[in-house]
Amino acid sequence: MKNKIMDMSTLDKRLLKELDDYINSLDGDKQEHLILVLHKAQELFGYLPQNLQLYVARKLNLSSARVNGVVTFYSFFNEEPVGKYRISVCMGTACFVKGADKVLERVQDLLKIQKDRISEDGLFTINDVRCIGACGLAPVLTVNDKVYGKVKPNDVDDIIRYYRGLENENS
Amino acid sequence: MKIASYQELKNWQKKCQNNKNYKINVLVCTGTSCLSSDSQTLVEMLESALESHNLQVEIKVIKTGCFGFCGQGPMIKIEPDEITYVKVKVEDIEDIVENHFLKNTTVKRLLYKEPGQTKLLEKSSEMQFYKKQMRVALRNCGEIDPENIEDYVLNDGYFALAKVLENYSPDEVIKIIKDSGLRGRGGGGFSTGLKWELTRKSPGNEKYLICNADEGDPGAFMDRSILEGDPHSVIEAMIIAGYAIGANNGLIYIRAEYALVTERLRRVITDARKYGLLGKDILGSGFDFDIEIKLGAGAFVCGEETALIRSMEGFRGEPDKKPPFPSQAGFRGKPSNVNNVETFANIPVIILNGAEWFAKIGTKKSKGTKVFSLVGQIRNIGLVEVPMGTTIKEMIYDIGGGHPEEREIKAIQIGGPSGGVITKEYFDTQIDYDSLVEMGAMMGSGGIIVMDEDTDMVQIAKFYLDFIQDESCGKCTPCRIGTKRMYEILERLVNMEGSPEDLNSLRTLGRIIKDTSLCGLGQTSANPVLSTMKYFPEEYEAYAYKTKKTKYSIDPKKCVGCTKCAKACPVECIEGKIREPHIINESECIACGSCYEVCPVNAVIKP
Ligand SMILES: Cc1cc2nc3c(=O)[nH]c(=O)nc-3n(C[C@H](O)[C@H](O)[C@H](O)COP(=O)(O)O)c2cc1C
Ligand code: SF4
Ligand code: SF4
Ligand code: SF4
Ligand code: FES
């Protein structure tokens, strides 16, 4: 009986090869590099589904429970798919005292999803981060690597419209 | 090219000097804040404009780390005259090139003015923001190209290392650091020299030197700015520390959120290896040392040193009981020395200028300077370095410029999620390790959040507790369950569903969690609540006794009747004739705050 979510044959072979090469390039005790390997895996696949975790476990000769324990401990790792545009609202203290909670609320309202969820069209995910070091611009929101500073709740509409627009252009 | 002695370093420095044939340097801040305001585009436009006028042979554009005055960014400083332009936009580049460089006239409209004054200030050193500062750890930030090792060497970079390797035994280095009085900048404030000595004396010949670059305090960005603006100083200090404690391996544990910094560090480390400053037989001394980078993955508790070590070993970052201390059994079970980024940034200058020089700065028990990130309801948001002993008043009024809208500042919060508040009555307090603890706050890593009369202290406490219970690793019950219970009580209170007994429960729970948690996170988790309860009991009582006002209102004495609020109100519950005081119909107000935002004379009163 084969567990479907554990089926490693559905993973992209080309990306796995890249992951293998990366693991082989690491010096020293490979098990110690688990977190680094998971970073790479997430960078390649976008998130860390169960079967990918199992793959990493086999590769490093670790139990899958150990790998899953690490994945669930660190908030940077996602077990669920993430959107093409990752909207992160900074909820660091500097941003909070400048009304970041209102910004987060607005993003959630507009996209009709809660944080840590993906929008129905698969385009957006929302999450909160703790200080990205741009407190001078508080409140701050990022979409992938682009930083938006001094964001007012109303600005969120424009930002999301902009990315929706990009999509329409593409299609 | 490998540099193999002090003399060779000296020769190299001379050569770097000769390589510098530019008459003018244009320093552009590319710290995170300014980058977000497009300073990268400014650099590119400046370069192409200079080239089109054939000026690139005389004028060099340098991308630097954070200038510190983030509120005025992006900033451009032109050396040697030190003319500083603030809030520079893409449209201004033409003007700067045309007038400043071609016609030799200053672009007046881009100069800085102190608020409420008309005098234009040409130089950054004339600005109030910089006058009371003393830049030791930040000495090179905003002054050099952080990725250019020659820039660093020109500013006496790696000379402290050369001096150490040529003249001092490890014990002599430790003595200098001990005599300087330097204490750890990561929060605890433990004597750095003493820590080095403990690790040196620990038996074993395999030891590790670790740099803690996890910077978990939300709202603090000094370590990031140092690594971004002057990474070589941290590398140099780590080599010196490695030599002192007897370690050949260094590790930097850095937050995953700091991806750009990580890339920069990798490049800088490669450069240092190329010149024989890292690797085997450093500067021909026979001492070997190299550095590896370890990535975090978004867990605040990993800033705690034992958790950090677990995480570096590839495990869940759960803290361990101390003892054994890392200096006895740390990374891979071997003696390890953990220091904070800013602690390291101080080391090279102490070696070059001497322990007495450093010990003269600061207060009796807190020596040197401290970097703070000054944020919140304050005019001059930014990164500030001051001598220990500077008062809070000087910090927020002289340097910070007070409240941006001249409202009253009621308190500061210092020390992040482990810290506490200091109210305006105590703004004469000198900032150093011990006086802050006396006040029920703590230095922490140096985040200062300024709060005005409108800030709801219960909400602030709830914010920190939300953070803490989110970040609790769950290993011990008081921290895991206790902070959750406290959070639930606060939530009940702010929803007006609480009762006066809740206040007692908060205090009792806080005390228990403090006494019974395993690591610093749990032990200090109740501080923000307990400290705000102590200084702002009335704000808690207003919620507990349900007397808290929840609707907005208008002060008829201040209102000038401009009608702006009435136009902004989404439920149209504000009435009034033009040029007459307006009134809010409180029963319909949904407390959206729009009126408060638009009022030009601050007549709207926040609940
Ligand atoms: C919950 C918690 C979080 C911490 N976070 C950090 C941090 O982000 N950066 C840091 O340098 N030290 C942090 N520390 C302190 C470290 O455990 C350690 O004391 C410090 O890195 C030692 O360096 P220093 O002596 O140079 O200050 C934290 C401690 C606790 C309890
Ligand atoms: S006090 Fe909290 S963070 Fe520290 S070990 Fe216990 S549960 Fe984990
Ligand atoms: S807070 Fe909002 S709803 Fe209430 S009066 Fe002001 S604008 Fe109207
Ligand atoms: S915006 Fe302010 S000044 Fe204008 S009518 Fe409203 S309360 Fe009065
Ligand atoms: S708190 Fe939001 S960027 Fe620092």
* Ligand 1 within 6 A of CB of B343: yes
- Ligand 3: which of B551, B565, B567, B584 to mutate, judged by most atoms within 8 Å of the beta carbon? B584
Quote the CA–CA distance of B452 and B462 in Å, as a whole number.
17
Calpha distance A21→B130 (Å, rounded): 50
CATH 3.40.50.11540 residue ranges of chain B are 149-357
Q: Where in chain B is the domain with CATH 3.40.30.10?
A: 22-127
Q: Is the pLDDT of residue B575 over 80?
A: yes
Nearest CA to ligand 3 atom 6: B595
Q: What tokens does B237 get?
A: 């200090």
Q: Do B451 and A94 touch (CB under 8 A)?
A: no
What's the pLDDT tens digit per position in B62-104? 999 999 998 898 999 999 889 999 999 999 999 999 999 999 9
**If we measure between CA atoms, which residue out of B334, B330, B335, B327 comes closest to residue B319?**
B330
Beta strands A146-148 and B290-295 are: unpaired
Distance CA B74, CA B37 (A): 7
Helix (H, G, I), strand (E, B) or coil at B222: helix
Question: Residue A131 in 3-state DSSP?
Answer: coil
Considering the four listed CATH numbers 2.30.30.100, 3.40.50.300, 3.30.70.270, 3.40.50.11540, the one that applies to the domain covering B149-357 is 3.40.50.11540
Contacts of B457 (CB under 8 A, 6+ apart): B411, B421, B451, B532, B535, B536, B539
Cα Dmax for chain B: 84
- Specify the pLDDT at position A1: 43
Sequence letter at residue B363:
T
Q: What kind of architecture, by CATH, is found in domain B22-127?
A: 3-Layer(aba) Sandwich (3.40)
Residue of B357, B108, B339 lying closest to B239 (CA atoms): B339
Residues of chain B with CATH 3.10.20.600: 369-452
Pick A69's closest partner by Cβ from B73, B316, B381. Answer: B316
Q: Would you call B37 exposed, middle or buried from its count of C-beta atoms within 10 A (0-12, 13-18, 19+)? A: buried
Residue in B338, B342, B517 to alter for ligand 1 test, most ligand atoms within 8 A of Cβ: B338
Specify the DSSP class assigned to residue B367.
Answer: B
Which residues of chain B have a CB within 8 Å of the CB of A91?
218
CA distance B431 to B441: 11
- Test B376 with A35 for CB contact under 8 angstroms: no
**In angstroms, what separates the C-alpha of B446 from chain A's closest C-alpha?**
13
Tell me the two tokens of residue B306.
């034992």
Provide mean pLDDT across the span B455-475.
Answer: 94
Q: Are B226 and B234 in contact (CB under 8 A)?
A: yes
Ligand approaching nearest to the C-alpha of B585:
3
Name the B residues in 566-595 with CB < 8 Å from any A CB.
593
List every span in chain B annotated with CATH 1.20.1440.230: 457-544
Pocket of ligand 5 (CB under 6 A): A 90, 92-95, 131-135, 138, 140; B 218-219
- Best CA proximity match to B342, nearest among B215, B250, B433: B215
CA distance B316 to chain A (A): 5
Residue range B30-38: average pLDDT?
Answer: 86
CATH 3.30.70.20: which residues of chain B?
549-607
Q: Are B392 and B428 in contact (CB under 8 A)?
A: yes
- Bridge partners (DSSP) of residue B386 are B370
CA B328 to centroid of ligand 3, rounded, Å: 60
pLDDT at A2: 52
B224 Cβ closer than 6 Å to some ligand 1 atom? no
What is the secondary structure of B428-465 as a DSSP string?
Answer: T-B-SHHHHHHTT---TT-EEEEEETT--HHHHHHHHH
User: Which of A102, A130, A138 has its CB closest to that of B375?
Assistant: A138
- Most ligand 1 atoms within 8 A of CB, residue of B208, B304, B318 to mutate: B304
Q: Write out the residues of chain A at the interface with chain B, using a CB-CB cutoff of 8 A.
A: 31-36, 38-39, 69-70, 73-77, 91-98, 102, 129-138, 140, 147-149
**What radius of gyration, in Å, describes the C-alpha atoms of chain A?**
18
Q: Does domain B549-607 have CATH number 3.40.50.150?
A: no
CA B193 – CA B447 distance, rounded (Å): 25
- Find the mean pLDDT for residues B359-379: 96
Residue whose CA is at the smallest distance from ligand 2 atom 4: B519
Residues in chain A: 171
* Mean predicted confidence (pLDDT) in B337-366: 98
CATH fold, domain B457-544, is de novo design (two linked rop proteins) (1.20.1440)
Written as one letter, the residue type at A31 is: Q
Q: Which atom of ligand 4 lies closest to the CA of B561?
A: 5
- Please state the ipTM of this predicted complex: 0.93
Residue B515 and residue B482 in contact, taking contact as beta carbons nearer than 8 Å = no
Q: Is the CB of B185 under 6 A from ligand 1?
A: yes
Structure tokens at B199: 């690790």
pLDDT 10s digits, B272-330: 999 999 999 999 999 999 999 999 998 999 999 999 999 999 999 999 999 999 999 99
**Chain center to CA of B278:** 28
- Which residues, other chains included, contact B429 with Cβ-Cβ below 8 Å and sequence gap of 6+? B391, B392, B422, B435, B436, B439
The percent of residues above 70 in pLDDT, for chain B, comes to 100
CATH topology of domain B369-452: Ubiquitin-like (UB roll) (3.10.20)
